[in-house]
Structure 1
Amino acid sequence: MPSSVSPAPRTVLVTGATSGIGWETARLLAGRGDTVILHAPDQASGDQARARLVAAGANASQLRLVVADFARLDEVRAMAARIADQHPVLDVLVNNAALAAPERRTMTTDGNELSLQVNFLAAYLLTHELAGPLSARPGSRVVNVSSSMHRTASISWNDPHRAKRYSRLAAYAQSQLALTIFAREQAPWTSVSVHPGVCDTGLLPLYAHEGDSAVQGAERVVRLCDPATELVPGAYYDRTALSPAAPVALEDRTVRRLCKLADQLVAAK
């Protein structure tokens, strides 16, 4: 007979939780009884997202708000330090924050191409900075919300910021490939990446004119957060199915090379 015992509440951090799949993921996890740490790029959008979650039925006492602009790596570090101080145990990290690469190549104050930093480097840095809380209890998970577009990408090793040849689609796809490769880094926790489907969010124009709802995308993310779902470490999931990632993402040497590059790019200037 199926167990009627509810899963034990956990502490989960969702980045990019102010809208779209991130907000719906936070809502679903809060509905499970988890303590959900909501990441917002600024205080105003964070307060609004939290109020909307409460209005949707979330228990306000289970919600925590943290703020960091991922276009500034010093803010990512500061946010991670606050989380580690207040939450010594972190059961799940959902690296969901993402933006579409702009039409014109844009550099951050850290010296990185904008979509590479916000979509990948910030997630890489945050995950490493939270190694203590993520290692505190067995069974912790990191879920990287990636994209099927990673299959069209390549890492421009000698020009990761694409100064010589920039296109917004190539820059965005590169960031998603990097995020997918990163899920294969060896760690004390289980990491996976997932394409949640083409969904009706702010990124939809990169893909199509219509898509699944953000709720459907979030359900696919939350499934991978559930301890009852057995994960293959380092695997890539296309919606709910285990799927082969791009061949380059399966090469151990590529994982090592990417992590070395990321270490250089996130190093405090």
Structure 2
Amino acid sequence: MPENRVIMLTGSTDGIGFETVRRLATPGATVVVHARNDEEGAAAYQRLVNSGVDSRRLQPAIADFADLRQVADLAAAVADTYPQLDVLVNNAGIGGTNHRTVTKDGHEQTFQVNYLAPYLLTRLLVNTLAASPVGRVVNVSSSLHRGGRINWTDPSWKRRYNRGAAYAQSKLALTMFTAALTELEPKIHEAISVHPGIIATGMLPHYSYRGRPVSEGAEVLARLADPDAKVLNGCFYDGRLPARAASAAVEPEAVGKLWRVSERLTLLDQRRTDRA
């Protein structure tokens, strides 16, 4: 890996994210290690160093994705620190709660943390990504996106909330965002989405009772996040291999509609103005 590559990975404190950081934090790379709060960030940093990772390869970053103001502040801090960002891995995610939870921004929590927050973070970091010859976005999706649908009239599930449906919608939206980046955001050089496999993490109950080792999911994600790795722009990966995404994830009219709806729900234009 050439010198001075910068990779940002959200949701880095445990599971696949933590193990992926261990693989990416090699000589010549700086990994921005995102955590939800200071305590989780400090604990993850210490565990990484104790496992043998060179502390000089790590740059902690804090933001609770249930608060979009913190997401905007995170984007501003990264853009101010690094002239360019080579790869952004949108890995942070939650499985959702049994009962509907609303964020301070007024959105259903699963939809915001799994989709609206990475949408906002990516859009605010577009220029920083564009400054890199790689400029890649990797969205960690799920095979469950194929069973999802966008609840256009009620994306925050004020009526008939269902944990599984909310999760599937969030991952479908993130996969659609991948298509949108390739079609509607010319500054982004590469965007892909990936289902890393059925892995034994806290998300396992959404899939199965048994999962493969975390190391296997991290190996997949680290390969796709390696700036030197060749990827198929706009592709959905199932593990190591390109696969077919849900038809809804690549339908141009729906993709464009979600792009516009997301701008409104995240107050993107206002946050850009505040940043300027």
Please indicate the TM-score interval, normalised by the length of the shorter structure: over 0.9
- 2:24·2:226 contact (CA, 8 Å) conserved in 1? no
The equivalent position to 1:82 in structure 2, one of 77, 80, 84, is: 77
Alignment check: 8 A CA contact 1:144 1:192 kept: yes
Partner residue in 2 for 1:195 = 195
Cα deviation digits, residues 33-77 of structure 1 (max 9, x gap): 410000000001100101111111111011110100000000000
Q: Following the alignment from structure 2 to structure 1, what is the Cα–Cα distance between the partners of residues 22 and 106?
A: 35
Partner residue in 2 for 1:3: none
1:161-176 matches, within 5 Å, as: 161-176=156-171
- Using the TM superposition, give the Cα deviation of residue 8 of structure 1 relative to its aligned residue in structure 2, in angstroms: 3.9
Q: Does 1:263 align with 2:258?
A: no
Q: Distance in 2 between matches of 1:155 and 1:32?
A: 42
Give the gaps of 5 or more residues in structure 1.
Answer: 1-5
TM-score using structure 2 length: 0.93
Q: Pairwise CA RMSD of aligned residues?
A: 1.3
Q: Secondary structure at the match of 1:184?
A: helix
Match of 1:154 in 2: 149
Counterpart for residue 70 of structure 1? 65
Measure the CA separation in 2 of the matches of 1:70 and 1:127: 13
**In 2: Cα distance, 1:253 partner to 1:86 partner:** 37
Contact 1:13 1:90 in 2 (8 A): yes
CA shift for structure 1 position 7: 4.2
The residue number in structure 1 matching 2:92 is 97
Task: Give the unaligned 5+ runs of structure 2.
Answer: 272-276
Task: In structure 2, give the amino acid aligned to 1:71.
Answer: A
- 1:85 deviates by 0.5
One-letter code aligned to 1:203? M
Q: Would you say 1:60 and 2:55 are equivalent positions?
A: yes
* Mapped partners of 2:24, 2:135: distance in 1: 15
Q: How many residues align?
A: 264
- Residue 233 (structure 1) aligned with residue 228 (structure 2): no
- Structural mapping, 1:3-42, within 5 Å: 6-31=1-26, 33-42=28-37
TM-superposed CA distance for 1:93, in Å, is 0.3
Report how far residue 9 of structure 1 moved.
4.4
Residue of 98, 106, 109 corresponding to 2:104 = 109
Query: What is the percentage of aligned positions where both structures have the same residue?
Result: 45
Whole-angstrom CA distance in 2 between matches of 1:119 and 1:92: 18
* CA–CA distance in structure 1, aligned partners of residues 9 and 50 of structure 2: 19
Residue 25 of structure 2 aligns to a residue in which SS? helix
Quick one: which amino acid aligns to residue 160 of structure 2?
A: R
Counterparts of 1:227 and 1:34, CA distance in 2: 10
Deviations 1:178-218 (A, max 9, x none): 00110112332201000000111111111111111111101
Kept after mapping to 2: 8 A contact 1:88/1:132 = no
